[in-house]
Amino acid sequence: MTIYILLTTPATDAGPFNLYSDVDGFVAPFSINVSKATLLGGYSVTVPNGTTIVRIVSVGDCTNYIDFEVGGGPIPTTTTTSSTTVNPFLNTWYYGKYNSPGGVVPIPTSVDINIATGTAVSNVNPSGSLIIPFNSVVDDFLWFAIPVSAGTKSNWFVTTLNQGLIGGPATYYGNLFPNPVVVTYNSVSLNLYISTGRTNVAQMTIS
């Protein structure tokens, strides 16, 4: 049996479409990837024998569907729409200072660092080199946190005479920045780097 389908008001993001029949409970499409333009212009198609309802399903960004009676109009249905929400903080990174005056003081841990009090940066790709204006004083430990998805950092640089590697254990005699600790902030996993010493520095490049 051949029917004629004319779609009049599809959603802007609808299409292409797969067509199903009630003969098999709308399981297998009898016509696939039919364009919106084709349905708007009128589409003649052969349907399985015994079809009384045709379901037109959008298979692109829009996943709505509508049922039509053969020889009749649309049947009111409940439609479903799927959408993807992207976390706006996926590429945001952070930096800050932890002030700890006094003589010999313990190295801060992730428990001491409140990322919410730091500076958030969303217009510089965390995967590349980061120029961080810490503007710290002698009693400040430094920290920065980048998304785990951006990879890890291996070097810090202030001047040719003041630079070093990143990594290793968190000890007073190790690298200025040891291995990071993974924390979660704004539903994003971050590599949090905390300096093992207090540092007075205006600006530092991390790479």
CA 191, distance to chain mean position in Å, is 16
Is 49 domain-assigned?
yes
Distance, CA of 65 to CA of 10 (rounded, Å): 10
Structure tokens at 177: 């920045």
Number of residues written out for the chain: 207
Check whether residue 38 and residue 104 sit in a common domain. no
Is 85 domain-assigned?
no
- Burial string for 166-192 (b: 16+ CB within 10 Å, else e) reads bbeebeeebbbbbebbebebeebebbb
Check whether residue 104 and residue 36 sit in a common domain. no
| Per-residue pLDDT, 72 | 61
Check whether residue 68 and residue 114 sit in a common domain. no
Is 82 domain-assigned?
no
CB 55 within 8 A of CB 15: no
Tell me the residue range of the domain where 67 lies: 2-75
Check whether residue 106 and residue 169 sit in a common domain. yes
pLDDT tens for the chain, residues 1 to 207: 788 888 777 777 788 889 999 999 989 999 999 988 888 888 888 889 988 888 888 888 788 888 888 766 555 544 444 455 678 888 999 999 999 998 889 999 999 999 999 999 999 999 999 999 999 999 999 999 999 999 999 999 999 999 999 999 998 889 999 999 999 999 999 999 999 999 999 999 999
CB 145 within 8 A of CB 93: yes
Distance, CA of 108 to CA of 121 (rounded, Å): 23
Check whether residue 100 and residue 68 sit in a common domain. no
| Per-residue pLDDT, 67 | 84
Check whether residue 55 and residue 7 sit in a common domain. yes
Is 83 domain-assigned?
no
Check whether residue 185 and residue 97 sit in a common domain. yes
Is 57 domain-assigned?
yes
The domain tally of the chain equals: 2
Check whether residue 110 and residue 62 sit in a common domain. no
Q: Using DSSP, state whether 180 is helix, strand or coil.
A: coil
